Amino acid sequence: MRLDDLIGQTTAAALLRNAILRDRVAHAYLFHGPDGVGKSTAASAFAQSLNCEGGRPNDPGAACGECRSCTLIAKGNHPDVRLIAPSTGSDAAVIPIEQIRKDLVYDVELRPVVGRHKIYLLDPADRTAPLAIHTILKVLEEPPPYVVVILVTSRSALLPPTILSRCQHVAFQLAGADAIEQHLLTLGVDPPAAASLARLSGGRIAWAIRVAQRPEVLSTRKALLDLCATVQLRAAPEALRLAEDIKMQALTLVRARRDVDAETDVEEAPEEPAHVAFSAGDRALRAELPECLEGMVPWYRDCLAASQGGTLLNPDYESVLRGKAGSRGSSQDVRAIEAILHARQAIQRNANLDLTLESLAVELLTGGGQPISQP
Ligand SMILES: [Zn+2]
């Protein structure tokens, strides 16, 4: 993908392209913005533009997408472009200091093998081990002339100011629903599904594309919205069953992914180090649950919108949502959203799955302390 093909990121694309055209490429960039808006894709596209061997005569600053360098970068095999990422599939894993030393600190001393630049993509940079982040500082303070380090993050507040101040910041935005819908149509997604996904994506193009490729995610979201719709009718003692219901939806995604992996013969994920050892089932659930929990947020967001006469993300639930409007305070909906996001974060940080889901269910059923229905 070329920089200009990024969906809804014209400002970021123009900034990066101008840097190449004016020969003012910085040694360190911070690609920051919400999850799923194309930061990683942009980092790869920028790496292609930096090391492209061909170029386009009518399109200066753009990568050709076809030369040896562009092809190797697209495949993740370019000898001078290194992706430094947590080594396991677990969302909770961090990039250890040994990996930062070997793949970055020592490696920058070696000149590029074939390209003009040596490019290091730290993605996500905020998952670098706490001590390792300071070893990166050494590289950012005195980088060899051929080095470009790109820190990719949706949580730049977690990076120390000493790192942030040494990077050129490139902001990525949520894309407009129209742009996402148009892009999904070019990928061959059905027009009704494209329109619905574009609205639900909340501007995150990567999410929309991923879900378009996994129809079971959409059906799981529908099941979760049905669950949310009945939460107010449930009694507080049903919390354990609600927690189990949420888990069941995540299991549906786990099974669907296994079926796809079996068909495409995907290799098993490598084992984690002992301190983050989970059973395979636990690890698979942990990978899918954040998606599930995220699918519940639009419900409570729509409850707020319905009570204020706003536009709904889930118009298919309009009559239920408008019917509920005013039946409970908007602060309960806000607390529900906070509780869901908190649970999602806890799971990504290796908290006990069952306990996290159960305490979330209690929060949702009691509206943050006040029982809203009795057995
Ligand atoms: Zn090229």
Please state, as a whole number, how many other Cβ atoms lie within 10 Å of the Cβ of residue 153. 22
Pair 316, 329 in one domain: yes
Pair 160, 235 in one domain: no
pLDDT at 173: 93
Three-class DSSP category at 298: helix
Please give the residue range of the domain that contains residue 353.
214-366
Query: 213, 240, 273 — which closes off a domain?
Result: 213
Task: Give the global pTM.
Answer: 0.70
Residue 88 within a domain: yes
Helices within 232-316 (DSSP H only): 239-264, 280-307
CA angle, 68 then 148 then 109, to 5°:
90
Q: What distance lies between CA 240 and its chain's CA centroid? A: 29
Q: How far is the CA of 44 from the centre of ligand 1 (A)?
A: 12
For residue 149, what is the domain's CATH number? 3.40.50.300
Query: 171, 197, 229 — which closes off a domain?
Result: 171
DSSP H/E element including 118: strand 118-122
Cis before residue 273, ω within 30 degrees of 0? no
Q: How far is the CA of 155 from the centre of ligand 1 (A)?
A: 31
Residue 375 within a domain: no
Residue 372 within a domain: no
pLDDT at 272: 43
Pair 204, 220 in one domain: no
Pair 132, 189 in one domain: no
Residue 371 within a domain: no
Pair 27, 152 in one domain: yes
Give per-10-residue mean pLDDT for the chain (375 aa). 87 94 95 92 95 78 89 95 80 81 94 94 91 89 96 93 96 93 92 84 87 83 88 80 92 80 52 50 86 89 88 83 79 92 91 93 76 40
pLDDT at 152: 97
Pair 110, 239 in one domain: no
Q: How far apart are CA 314 and CA 274, in angstroms?
A: 43
Pair 194, 299 in one domain: no
pLDDT at 259: 72
Pair 110, 159 in one domain: yes
Q: How far is the CA of 342 from the centre of ligand 1 (A)?
A: 43
Pair 197, 313 in one domain: no
User: Could you give the number of structural domains in the chain?
Assistant: 3
Q: How far is the CA of 146 from the centre of ligand 1 (A)?
A: 18
Residue 374 within a domain: no
Q: How far apart are CA 145 and CA 25, in angstroms?
A: 10
Q: How far is the CA of 56 from the centre of ligand 1 (A)?
A: 8
Pair 191, 251 in one domain: no
pLDDT at 48: 95
Read off the DSSP letter of residue 119. Answer: E
pLDDT at 373: 42
Query: 171, 190, 205 — which closes off a domain?
Result: 171
Q: How far is the CA of 96 from the centre of ligand 1 (A)?
A: 32
Pair 301, 202 in one domain: no
pLDDT at 57: 66
Q: How far apart are CA 84 and CA 120, in angstroms?
A: 7
